[in-house]
Structure 1
Amino acid sequence: MSDREGHSTAPPTDDDLSLPKATVAKMITELLPPDVVCAKDTRDLVIECCVEFIHLISSEANDICEKESKKTIAPEHIISALKTLGFDSFIAEVEDVLKDHKQQQKDREKKVSKFEQSGMTEEELLAMQERLFADSRARYESGKP
């Protein structure tokens, strides 16, 4: 099966699933001491291990989700899967990342609501910004604070 441009639209197989090689290589480089390098084969093996780990956790979280008659895997299902599979040592860090993620979402929502609270369109805000820049530039060029 393919779409109009000729790309495959069939569900991906395990062979199709991977992680970005450049991103993984960068992460490995950042974690290793400066005098240690990682072979390409090793990087590829790390990627395969990561994909397998994701499959394992996702599958277990899905089982937990189904037992609770839920249709969406929630973060709590992932944490339960980690516990069930014996990855208890990961849970504190996962919970910290989840907490940070939720805070970032709240911060983004605050920014959106400030825009909405302004009562101005994006064009009006842009025009105001341009006026403020022009006023500031004029004060700077005249030497007056």
Structure 2
Amino acid sequence: MWAKLVPRPTSVRALTRLPNTDGGKAKPRTRPRKSVSHAQSTEIAERKEREREMEKVVPEAEELPKTIVRRVVKDKLSHCSPDVDMSIHKDALLAFSESARIFIHYLSATANDICRESKRQTISANDVLKALEDIEFPEFVKPLTASLDDFRQNNAGKKAKAAKVKEVKKRKLEEEQPGGGGEREEEEDRDGSGDD
């Protein structure tokens, strides 16, 4: 009932206008402008630009763990100067993290291209080694190959140890139940159908 009595504005423009008190047309709503010099406006624009740069552009899922990056950097610094305990500024740590993230993205994209050229969908270690040569980091190939071989040997040793433990458990279960039917024989003896 009230909706019929109160006229509704028909456009957004009508919502932003204030009625004129002298009975004339409605005036658009305006904000008073602050007088800002050219130098001040440039300074404001630069400040906003710095704030945008400081905002996180990278989602958290793509960030490298800061503790790991800090540990790697401190370890390398301790090898360079063992007698001095160096601290790392927050911005420097961020720079290390971002540069490592970008390097990983670039290396993985190159390895992915090599993999696609071979008409495969899974990137192998050889693709990564070839990508390192393609992006002109051949000095990393030899240490990375050695590290990869060590990892494979350690992993193979762990797998062999786990297989042995599993085999021992399986043998113990078989010894406890000879013939696989030890419980059935006991049940048959209770029923009187077994050997007496």
Q: Runs of 5+ in structure 2 lacking a partner?
A: 1-56, 177-196
Structure 1 distance, partners of 2:152, 2:58, is: 33
Structure 1 distance, partners of 2:88, 2:94, is: 10
Match 1:20 to one of 52, 65, 72 = 65
Q: 1:103 is matched by which residue type in structure 2? A: Q
Q: Residue 30 of structure 1 corresponds to which residue in structure 2?
A: 75
- Is the counterpart of residue 47 in structure 1 residue 101 in structure 2? no
Query: Secondary structure of the residue that 2:73 maps to in structure 1?
Result: helix
Query: Secondary structure of the residue that 1:72 maps to in structure 2?
Result: coil
> 1:37-72 deviations in whole A, cap 9, x for unaligned?
211100100000000000010000000000001110
Q: Runs of 5+ in structure 1 lacking a partner?
A: 1-13, 125-145
- Higher Rg: 2
Is the deviation greater in 108-117 or in 75-84? 108-117
Structure number with higher relative contact order (C-alpha < 8 Å, ≥ 6 residues apart): 1
Compute the TM-score of the two structures, normalised by the length of structure 2: 0.53
- Is the counterpart of residue 77 in structure 1 residue 122 in structure 2? no
1:1-145 equivalences in 2 (<5 Å):
15-16=58-59, 17-32=62-77, 33=81, 34-118=84-168, 119=170, 120=172
Give percent identity, aligned residues only. Answer: 28
Cα RMSD (Å) of the superposition? 1.6
Structure 2 distance, partners of 1:105, 1:35, is: 34
